[in-house]
Amino acid sequence: MTRVAVFGTGSWGTAFSMVLADAGTDVVMWGRRQELTDAITRTHENPDNMPGIPLPDSITATHSHEEALAGAEVVVFTVPSQTFRGNLEGWAQSLPSDAVLVSLMKGIELGTTKRMSQVIGEVTGAPPERIAVVSGPNLAREIAQRQPAATVVGCADEAVAEKLQQVCATAYFRPYTNTDVVGVELGGAVKNVIALAVGIAKGMGMGDNSQASIVTRGLAEITRLGVRMGADPLTFAGLAGMGDLVLTTTGSLSRNRSLGMALAQGERFADYRASHRSVAEGANTSLAGAALGRRLGVELPITEKVCEVLFQDKPPRDAVAELMTRELKAEQWR
């Protein structure tokens, strides 16, 4: 039986642990708070992040990262992206030398503009064939309820991607493989920024035409950036691109969309952040994504305006007006 360590006891880490267990793996979760990891092991439920949903008996949890990593063949990371590097530096010495390292995180690191797989490589020294990403239209609670869903397992080594595919395939969770790690990862990160923009439009009372236009032009932004970084443009037409984008921009459970709606209704981001335990990943990703676009010479107008609304208190109506009065262009870029 494959042993998998899952770092993170949030809703997505819990749901993915259930998938792994249902697929026949032995799962140990690592969590920062010992009282929570003790409760998970004792009650087979995550009372904080997935209350009311029983966990398979093969899932245990621990506060000790050494204990979690002992004998692990696969290590899955699902912690906040902006604190990931510092956390990983503390875990790195205990990582098994041959374990496959998997990122479930959907963010871009502030300052470095690195993707999470790049952070893993830098901190651990692991080669690309030992680093993988999982991304797709995957709302944690629906997966924990065992509703049918699909996802993408990305790894430069196709054989490793296929191995991970088997490790997380169940009757309700269908993984596909892709060797385009850049595209899979970038689609999962930047779609959160576009969901913020859609939330702003909805919060301003705009209708379906406006929201569909943002989704479509948002996909164009993601694709432009991805292609500039070496990604396959077809990746953005798949589950990790359009699939995840549609979910995050339309789903009622999307935290990024909800944040956008709050901003449109007059709430300042600083106040929103102060009143919420966890803030949508798209906020910091807008900063990192805008910086990445400027560094690579890629136009990201929606991302730039979202960033200005969030961090410069630009009124949403001004941001919309500026987007709509930009220089007219052909739809396809050259």
The two tokens of residue 221 are: 């932004």
CA distance 200 to 206: 9
Q: Quick one: residue 171, left, alpha or beta (phi over 0 = left, psi -120 to 50 = alpha)?
A: alpha
Q: Does residue 202 have an active-site annotation?
A: no
CA distance 30 to 95: 13
Indicate which residue of 163, 191, 202, 305 is catalytic: 191
**Which residues belong to the active site?**
191
